[in-house]
Every structure is written in structure tokens, then in C-alpha cells.
């Protein structure tokens, strides 16, 4: 009995200890210092007790639990930020630690770091660092000197709170964007991203992972709202919107005007949702975007508008003055092929601009804008009128009667009309549309009379055309002979026999001026026959130019002209045949690019550089090519490069090395800014094109067609981003690094290429310096920002056009001076 009584106290204390150990003490901090660690169950609260930081999971019944460190509204509960979204904890052993030097890290139970603030400002000299949440829901890592080393607002997830930014800092390359959750209960990275696209005039866009196009475009900022977000107009009484655009940074943010609690969420299905907290402390869904089917990107194609019909589905229609591009494929409810001008524009015939009110402004990816907002609408009209490639204009800011200038280049896509929203856009139209408007009755009377006259004119024209054919051909031949070019003029019958009567089997492709055929002369020599199509409106003068220039040039890295054929209206150039086609045939094809190891690519780069040096410096005339691109570099049997296609080249005599033109020619994506915008060209124009080409050879990607999941930069911008982040090792095509040990040579080529594509022509090296840089190991100057990198103050001319050899075509733009 005594022994039993003696055992009771010991059993009591053991039981009490076990009971107490089954409970953990949860702490709620207002500030965390290096002396404390935030454990699972603990929380860090804002001073107003609205926001909390702590550990959470979505399904308490799961074992082991997926635990996340997150920031949330306390009441009603709503997660706004997650630290370890892609790296969950298992169980409740995780903890957040702040070191004395200012490093903030999340560890699991085995002391493995799952997340870190990666503070670039953290150092051993940090004075008493601390972590707190301010009243806006921003998690701040600072010290006693108020030096901010990290904040959660700089690392947004799927939610924008009041005061947060969306945008980009061009100096630091920091971007603020939203990324959706994978599912409603899985905060890992989802498929959708909301960001500011800074190509051209900045616009807010929604993209889906893996899709090179946009899913939804909220549009550009007009001083009051984004032009494709009517809900913002309805919210103007509730929120103040702020849009900042400068050389350093562009960003968008919002703040409530009243004591209003709100959050903007990009959900897992790609919907942007505005939630507002009611007085009963419930989250109320205020609006959602996209609102309807017409909000989705460009479902009606170019020059068309989308509207919601009586069946509550999308219906496409052409703008006034436009007609369906494809009558067969155009559908009353859908028209993805878009529309074309009923009366073609003609820059030399005083095109007019027609006002379309209440519009969602077209996609501004390929646009130019007045960054200072100083230009008037009339200034804008004059500037657009003077450039034949300008398709429309509008004010950048609609406040105070309108100010600033925005110009579009290329087709206008993703438009819709609003009854009480949107803004005015002025679209270029053919002059005849206005001239004959309202004269249909007169046309009917005149038409019957004119029909007889047309028949008579047609008979006369037919006879005249036969005479002119022979006359033009004789003049062409005479002109070539007078030039004393020592160039054989071949008979068309000989060319016809050589190409088997221009058989489809011998068809090599289509150049800028017409089809190209392979042939074999009687002596067995293989040739390439470049024909000038009768439909090619741009090719006559270029054909003459090419004959005159290339006949006088002789260099191992220039294609050799063997002769020409001029008979009636038939005009052909006969070149040596290149069995390996053009450079773009290899470098832009994932399978064929593997045939070009680094040694071959370096040989190609050096060959192109030597060819350009000859044109700029060593030939009898100084020649600017003006259309250097991968499609115009041919490869012989040994993969030696030959620069071709001199139809757009310009020759200089004496000491002249630069000029200007109203007629801008070349290929979008390779043109330097000073040429594409102002028509100024020089030997440095070719240097810019060469730099673009070198980067394409190294990466295997096209500049104008480049897409990246993490940003909207072109190839130049992508390489520049990696360069300033000291990540240039990520630039080359992956298989190059696996196959070569000469990594330093690849990195040197990237460095030289960036020097060649600098914004200002005076900063670019000449080709003599480039050749020297490739042949030596000396130090190189640090490159400055490339041209057409952010595309903010110049029109990004890397827009999509008809293709000429791997989706690129030489274009012509007339510019008023």
C-alpha cells in the first residue's frame, strides 16, 4: 500500500508533462528581430491588426500537410502573398529566420533553406535589422537607419494591393508583374501573367504560358484609364489611378479614395477580379475582366471591330472604309482574317485620316509616342502624314482636351467600339474614299457611259503594251551596255533550257522581287536565276541598281554575278549557285542548326564581317548594303558565307559615308533606329544589322520573332538583360556550349555584337574595328543600351509582315522630311 502511494506523485508529474508538451505556445509579433524566429503557429501582425504573416495550409486533413509561409488579410481571410509558392513545407517544423546581417530565410525541419529574400543590400554592417508589416500589407525588411533592403511589394504574386506597382525599371531591369496560382488551393506558379508590355507605347496585357500572343489586352493608358478596361472608368469615383512613365521606369498603381479595402486578383483561370470588402467584412466581387468574348485578343483580325450581338456572342465587322480580307472565310460571327482598305492608301496622293470615336485603341506593340506629351493632335497628324508606314494616330492623354502623340505602324488589331468609353483614333484611308463619298448616283450615270469608253481604251492599251514591251527591253539592254559593266547578257532561250523551262522541280524559293530557280548551263555550271516578277512594283529600280553594283564587286564573301537576261519585260539575274541555300535555312531550324558547330558559325561571322569591310572600305565605291540579314547570306558547298541581294544597296563616292532618304528600305528587325525613324543611313546602319545577325547566329533565334516566357523583350533586349545581369553565358544556343570549349570566343562575339547594336550610330564601331576585335584578345569597351531594346521612344519596326525567306521581307517606307 505504501509502495502504491509513493508511485502516485511520480505518475502525476509524468502525466502533467506529457499533457503540457502536447500544446505549443503561439506568439503574435509586431516586429521580428534576429533574436526571434517565426515558427509554425506564430504570426507577425501589422500595427492595425489587418494583415498577418504566418504558416497556413488549404486542406488540414492532408498528411503530410503542404504548409506555406504567407501574408493574408486577417478578417475576412484572404491570402495576398506566398513566400514558398513553388516549394511547400511538409509538416509544421518550418520556421522563418532573420540573421544579424539582414538575411531573411525560410527553413524546413532539417534546416534546408526553402526561400530567401535574396537581399542585395544585406551586409555585415546592417544595423539591427527587423521585419514588420506596414498598414498597406507590405512586408518590410529594414534596419534602425530605415534602410530598406527588401519588401514583398517588389515580389508580387497573384494580388495587387493599394500602392503596389505593375511595370518595369529600365535601369535595374526589375519587373513587377502578377502570376496566377495553379489552382484555387495550389499557390504554385500558374499559367497566366499580367504585366506592362513596354514595346512601343506601354500597355497592360494578360498572357498565357506558352502562347506567344496575348490572351487579353487592357490597352494603353490615356490619362484616366486603360483604353480596354471600361470597368476602370466606372471605378474612377472609388480609386485614384497613377501611371508613371519616364526614361528610368514605367509603372501603374492605384489607391482607394475612401476608407475602402480592396484587392485586385489574377485568378487561376486568367480572370482579373476586383474584390471590395463590405461593411459586414465580406469580400464582394466588384468586376471581372475580360468581361465578354470581345475582350479576348484580336478575335476579329486587322481593321475590324468586335461587338456583342443579341445572342450574347462576339460578332465581327469591318470598320467603315474597309472590307473583309477573305470573302470565303469571313463569317458574320467571326472574322479572324480581318479586313483591308476598300481604297488602297497612296502616300503620294494625299491620304486622309478618318476619326473613329469611342474606340479601344489598337495594339501598341509596334508604335511610336511622344514621351513628353508636348505634341498637339495637329502635330500628330502632320507627323503621321509624313510617314507612309504610319497607319493611325491618337492622343496619348485625353485630359484637358487631349495632348501627346501616338503613332501606329503596321496593321491595326484588337479594336472594339464602346458606347460611353474609349477614345478617338484617326485611321489612314485612301483619298478616293472621301472624294467619291455621296456620289453614287452620279457614278451610276457616268458608269454606263464610261463602260463603252473602257472597252475602247482596253483595245488601245493592248496594242500599246505590245509595242512598249519590245521598246522597254531594248532600252534596258542599251542601258546595261552603256554602263560598260563587262557583264554577259544571256538569251532567255538559254535560261529556259537551263532551268527546264522554269520547272517547279528547280524552284528554290521566292526572293524580294520574284521567284528564284536553279539551272545548269550547257558547260555543266550550276546557276541560280533570280527573276523580277511582273507583279513586283518595287523591283525595277532595285534590279538596275543590283546589276550596276554587284557587277563591279569581286570578293570571296560576296555572291558572284555571272550575267543577266533582259528581253521585253523579262528581267533576270544569273548568279553562281549556292548548294547550301541561305543562312536562315540552318540557324532558325532546330534540327539543321546542329549541323553548324561553333567553328562553322565563327567562320560565317568572320566571312560576313570581311565582306562588309570590303563594301565599306576596300571596294572602288563605298557601298552600304541596307538589307543585311540571314536570308541574304548564302552558303557555298564549304559553308563559306556570301553576301547577296544588292537591290537596295547605296553607293557613295569620295569621302561621303552617310546620307538620308524619304524612302526607307530594308527589313524590319534589322534596321537601326536612326534609319527606320528619320531615314538617316550610313556604314553604321550595316554595322547595326551585322550585330543583330551575329546574335541570331549565336542564339539560333530571330530578333523580330523572339518570344520569352518571362518578358516581352525582343532578342536584343533579352541579350542586353542577360548581359547587365552578368548572365551572358545563357545567351548561346544550348548545343553550342556542349560542343565547344571555346566559351570565351562566344562571349567575345556577344560583346562585339552588343557594341554593334548600340542606340546611337556614333557609339558603334566601324567594320574595320569589328574585324580587329574578332582577331585579337584585347579589352573591349562596355556596350551601351541597344537600339530598339525597350522600343519606347521609337516605333518598333520589328512588326510582322509578309515573309521573304523565313518570314522576313524587304520593305519600303516613304518618309516626309
**Domains of the chain by start residue, with CATH:** 25-155 (2.90.10.10), 171-177+184-291 (no CATH), 295-435 (no CATH), 461-576 (3.30.200.20), 584-814 (1.10.510.10)
Average per-residue pLDDT in the chain? 81
User: How much is the pLDDT for 21?
Assistant: 40
Report the alpha-carbon distance of residue 207 to residue 194 in Å, rounded: 7
454 vs 285, which has greater pLDDT? 285
pLDDT at 62 over 60: no
- Residue 358 burial class via C-beta count within 10 angstroms: exposed 0-12, middle 13-18, buried 19 and up: middle
Helix (H, G, I), strand (E, B) or coil at 27: coil
Helices and strands (H and E) in the chain: how many: 15, 48
Given the C-alpha cell 487631349, which residue does it identify?
Answer: 402
What pairs with residue 288 in β-bridges?
273
pLDDT in tens, 491-531: 888 999 999 988 888 888 776 567 889 999 988 999 999 88
pLDDT in tens, 557-610: 999 888 888 775 678 889 999 999 899 999 998 889 989 999 999 999 999 999
Residues across the chain: 817
Task: Report residue 96 as a C-alpha cell.
Answer: 522563418
Residues labelled as active-site residues: 627
Residue 332: band (very low, low, confident or very high) from pLDDT cuts 50, 70, 90: very low
Residue 798: band (very low, low, confident or very high) from pLDDT cuts 50, 70, 90: very low
For range 348-366, the mean pLDDT: 88
Nearest CA among 167, 202, 178 for reference residue 268:
178
**Half-sphere CA count of 135, side-chain side, radius 13 A:** 4
pLDDT at 487 over 50: yes
Given the C-alpha cell 479594336, which residue does it identify?
Answer: 415
Residue 27: band (very low, low, confident or very high) from pLDDT cuts 50, 70, 90: confident
User: How much is the pLDDT for 261?
Assistant: 92
3-state helix, strand, coil in the chain (%, to 5): 25, 30, 45
Q: How far is CA 20 from the centre of its chain?
A: 62
DSSP for 473-532, written as a single string: HHHHHHHHHHTT----B--HHHHHHHTTTT-GGGEEEE-SSSEEEEEE-TTS-EEEEEE-
**Predicted TM-score (pTM) above 0.75:** no
Angle between helices 743-756 and 767-774 (to 10 degrees): 170
Instruction: Give the CA distances from residue 794 to residues 406, 718, 760, in Å, rounded to whole numbers and listed in that order.
Output: 11, 18, 13
User: In this structure, what are the phi and psi dihedrals at residue 80, rounded to the nearest 5 degrees?
Assistant: -120, -15
Angle between helices 683-699 and 715-724 (to 10 degrees): 80
DSSP for 224-236, written as a single string: SSBTT-HHHHHTT
Report the alpha-carbon distance of residue 245 to residue 785 in Å, rounded: 18
User: In this structure, what are the phi and psi dihedrals at residue 787, rounded to the nearest 5 degrees?
Assistant: -75, 150
Amino acid at each position: 500500500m505504501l509502495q502504491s502511494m509513493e508511485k502516485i506523485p511520480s505518475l502525476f508529474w509524468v502525466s502533467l508533462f506529457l499533457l503540457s508538451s502536447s500544446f505549443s505556445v503561439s506568439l503574435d509579433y509586431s516586429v521580428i528581430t534576429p533574436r526571434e524566429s517565426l515558427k509554425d503557429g506564430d504570426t507577425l501582425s501589422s500595427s492595425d491588426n489587418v494583415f498577418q504573416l504566418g504558416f497556413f495550409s488549404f486542406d488540414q486533413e492532408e498528411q503530410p500537410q503542404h504548409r506555406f509561409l504567407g501574408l493574408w488579410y486577417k478578417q475576412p481571410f484572404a491570402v495576398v502573398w506566398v513566400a514558398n509558392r513553388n516549394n511547400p513545407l511538409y509538416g509544421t517544423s518550418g520556421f522563418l529566420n532573420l540573421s544579424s546581417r539582414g538575411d531573411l530565410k525560410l527553413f524546413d525541419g532539417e534546416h534546408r533553406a526553402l526561400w530567401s529574400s535574396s537581399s542585395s543590400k544585406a551586409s555585415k554592417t546592417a544595423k539591427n535589422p527587423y521585419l514588420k508589416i506596414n498598414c498597406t500589407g507590405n512586408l518590410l525588411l529594414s534596419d534602425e537607419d530605415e534602410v530598406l533592403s527588401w519588401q514583398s511589394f517588389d515580389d508580387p504574386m497573384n494580388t495587387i494591393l493599394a500602392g503596389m506597382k505593375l511595370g518595369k525599371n529600365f535601369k535595374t531591369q526589375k519587373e513587377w508583374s502578377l502570376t496566377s496560382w495553379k489552382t484555387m488551393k495550389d499557390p504554385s506558379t500558374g499559367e497566366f501573367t499580367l504585366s506592362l508590355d513596354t514595346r512601343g507605347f506601354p500597355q497592360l496585357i494578360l498572357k498565357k504560358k506558352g502562347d506567344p500572343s496575348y490572351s487579353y489586352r487592357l490597352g494603353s493608358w490615356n490619362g484616366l484609364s486603360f483604353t480596354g478596361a471600361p470597368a476602370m472608368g466606372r471605378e474612377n469615383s472609388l480609386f485614384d489611378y497613377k501611371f508613371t512613365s519616364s526614361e528610368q521606369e514605367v509603372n501603374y498603381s492605384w489607391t482607394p479614395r475612401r476608407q475602402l479595402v480592396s484587392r485586385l486578383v489574377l485568378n487561376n483561370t486568367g480572370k482579373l477580379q476586383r474584390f471590395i470588402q463590405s461593411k459586414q467584412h465580406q469580400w464582394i466581387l466588384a468586376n471581372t475582366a475580360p468581361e465578354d468574348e470581345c475582350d479576348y485578343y484580336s478575335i476579329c483580325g486587322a481593321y475590324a471591330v468586335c461587338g456583342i450581338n443579341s445572342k450574347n456572342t462576339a460578332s465581327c465587322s469591318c470598320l467603315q472604309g474597309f472590307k473583309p480580307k477573305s470573302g470565303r472565310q469571313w463569317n458574320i460571327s467571326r472574322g479572324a482574317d480581318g479586313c483591308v482598305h476598300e481604297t488602297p492608301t497612296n502616300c503620294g496622293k494625299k491620304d486622309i485620316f478618318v476619326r473613329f470615336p469611342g474606340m479601344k485603341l489598337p495594339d501598341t506593340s509596334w508604335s511610336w509616342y511622344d514621351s513628353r506629351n508636348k505634341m498637339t493632335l495637329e502635330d500628330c497628324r502632320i507627323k503621321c502624314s509624313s510617314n507612309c508606314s504610319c497607319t493611325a494616330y491618337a492622343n496619348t492623354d485625353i485630359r484637358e482636351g487631349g495632348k501627346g502623340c501616338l503613332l501606329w505602324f503596321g496593321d491595326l488589331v484588337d479594336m472594339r467600339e464602346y458606347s460611353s468609353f474609349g477614345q478617338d483614333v484617326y485611321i489612314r484611308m485612301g483619298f478616293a474614299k472621301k472624294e467619291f463619298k455621296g456620289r453614287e448616283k452620279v457614278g451610276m450615270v457616268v458608269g454606263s457611259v464610261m463602260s463603252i469608253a473602257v472597252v475602247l481604251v482596253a483595245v488601245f492599251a493592248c496594242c500599246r503594251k505590245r509595242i512598249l514591251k519590245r521598246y522597254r527591253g531594248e532600252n534596258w539592254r542599251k542601258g546595261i551596255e552603256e554602263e560598260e559593266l563587262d557583264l554577259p547578257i544571256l538569251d532567255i532561250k538559254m535560261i529556259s533550257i537551263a532551268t527546264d523551262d522554269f520547272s517547279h522541280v528547280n524552284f528554290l524559293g521566292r526572293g524580294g522581287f520574284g521567284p528564284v530557280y536553279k539551272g545548269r548551263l550547257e558547260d555543266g555550271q550550276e546557276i541560280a536565276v533570280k527573276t523580277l516578277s511582273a507583279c513586283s512594283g518595287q523591283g525595277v529600280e532595285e534590279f538596275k541598281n543590283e546589276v550596276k553594283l554587284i557587277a563591279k564587286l569581286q570578293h570571296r564573301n560576296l555572291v558572284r554575278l555571272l550575267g543577266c537576261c533582259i528581253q521585253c519585260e523579262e528581267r533576270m539575274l544569273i548568279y553562281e549557285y549556292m548548294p547550301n541555300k541561305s543562312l536562315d535555312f540552318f540557324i532558325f531550324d532546330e534540327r539543321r542548326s546542329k549541323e553548324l558547330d561553333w567553328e562553322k558559325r565563327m567562320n560565317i561571322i568572320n566571312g560576313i564581317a570581311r565582306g562588309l569591310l570590303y563594301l565599306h572600305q576596300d571596294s572602288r565605291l563605298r557601298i552600304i548594303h541596307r538589307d543585311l540579314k540571314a536570308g541574304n547570306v548564302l552558303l557555298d558547298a564549304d559553308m563559306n558565307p556570301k553576301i547577296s541581294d544588292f537591290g537596295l544597296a547605296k553607293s557613295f563616292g569620295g569621302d561621303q559615308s552617310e546620307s538620308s532618304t524619304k524612302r526607307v528600305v530594308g527589313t524590319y528587325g534589322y534596321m537601326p533606329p536612326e534609319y527606320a525613324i528619320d531615314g538617316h543611313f550610313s556604314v553604321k546602319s550595316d554595322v547595326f544589322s551585322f550585330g543583330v545577325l551575329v546574335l541570331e547566329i549565336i542564339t539560333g533565334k530571330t530578333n523580330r520573332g523572339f518570344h520569352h516566357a518571362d518578358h516581352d523583350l525582343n532578342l536584343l533586349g533579352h541579350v542586353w538583360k542577360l548581359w547587365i545581369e552578368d548572365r551572358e553565358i545563357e545567351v548561346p544556343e544550348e548545343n553550342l556550349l556542349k560542343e565547344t570549349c571555346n566559351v570565351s570566343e562566344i562571349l567575345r562575339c556577344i560583346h562585339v555584337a552588343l557594341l554593334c547594336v548600340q542606340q546611337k550610330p556614333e557609339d558603334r564601331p566601324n567594320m574595320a574595328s569589328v574585324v580587329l576585335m574578332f582577331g585579337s584578345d584585347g579589352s573591349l569597351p562596355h556596350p551601351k543600351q541597344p537600339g530598339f531594346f525597350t522600343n519606347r521612344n521609337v516605333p518598333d519596326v520589328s512588326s510582322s509582315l509578309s515573309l521573304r525567306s523565313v518570314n522576313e521581307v524587304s520593305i519600303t517606307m516613304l518618309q516626309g522630311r
